[in-house]
Amino acid sequence: MSRWAEATILAMGGALGVNARYWLATALDGRIGRGFPWATLTINVSGSFALGVAAVILNAPSWLPHPQARLLVMVGFLSGYTTFSTFTFEAIVLGERWGAPRAAAYVAASVLGGLAAVVAGASLGRALLLGPDRRPPPFPQGSRSLIDGSGRRLVNFRGRTSLPRKMRNAQRPELGRGG
């Protein structure tokens, strides 16, 4: 199979996985309280479960699926649905092959590294949005962006603006639109 065909299979699986994650999260966010990331937890745990099932079934010697089924389901769909499933699966495999200490080190490095990367990335994003001389606001609750729906004001965890009054309605440069 050509690289283009593999890329097409990955793209199809990824597109389906990303859409499944988005629509499930949207449905759950509308029904479950916003005080805890239930949608993300549900997606990560269900994706891990699905990867476990797929890993066993798609590698079973008694059942020979299409050679590209693993690429479509495990790498495409489930990686689009959640990369957490891949992380948990790899931790289990690492533990089985190399022992619990190496698996624990991988889990700790991944979680702590991921947390540190989010903090570093958020700091960079805030610096790009606000400039180095302004104090950045905290992450908003229930939002996937530092900018609220109007695109102007940054909000804190209580939904109130955390910017000084004179900056609250100041125009910010739009990202990706040039100077």
In this predicted model, what pLDDT tens digit does every residue of 50-106 receive, in sequence order?
A: 988 888 888 777 776 787 888 999 899 998 998 787 788 888 988 999 999 988 998
The answer to whether residue 79 sits within a structural domain is yes
The pLDDT of residue 119 is above 70: yes
Residue 46 lies in a domain: yes
User: Looking at residues 133-161, what average pLDDT do you find?
Assistant: 46
Q: Assess whether pLDDT exceeds 90 at residue 10.
A: yes
DSSP string, the chain: --HHHHHHHHHHHHHHHHHHHHHHHHHHHHHS-SSS-HHHHHHHHHHHHHHHHHHHHTT-TT----TTHHIIIIIIIHHHH-HHHHHHHHHHHHHHHH-HHHHHHHHHHHHHHHHHHHHHHHHHHHHHHH-TTSPPPPPPTT-SSSB-TTSS-BB-TTSSB-S-GGGTT---PPTTS--
Res. 159 pLDDT band, cuts 50 70 90: very low
pLDDT for the residue numbered 122: 81
Per-residue confidence (pLDDT) for residue 141, from 0 to 100:
52
Q: What is the pLDDT of residue 163?
A: 46
pLDDT value at 15 more than 90: yes
Q: Quick check: is 40 in a domain?
A: yes
In a domain, 25, yes or no: yes
Q: Give the domain range for residue 88.
A: 1-98
The yes-or-no verdict on residue 155 having pLDDT over 50 is no
Domain presence at residue 172: no
What domain count does the chain have? 1
In a domain? residue 78: yes
pLDDT digits (tens, 9 = 90+) for 17-53: 999 999 998 888 778 766 667 888 888 889 889 988 8
pLDDT at 160 (0 to 100) = 43
User: Is the pLDDT assigned to residue 149 strictly greater than 70?
Assistant: no
Q: Indicate whether 127 pLDDT > 90.
A: no
pLDDT at 161: 44
Residue 166 lies in a domain: no
Classify residue 159: in a domain, yes or no. Answer: no
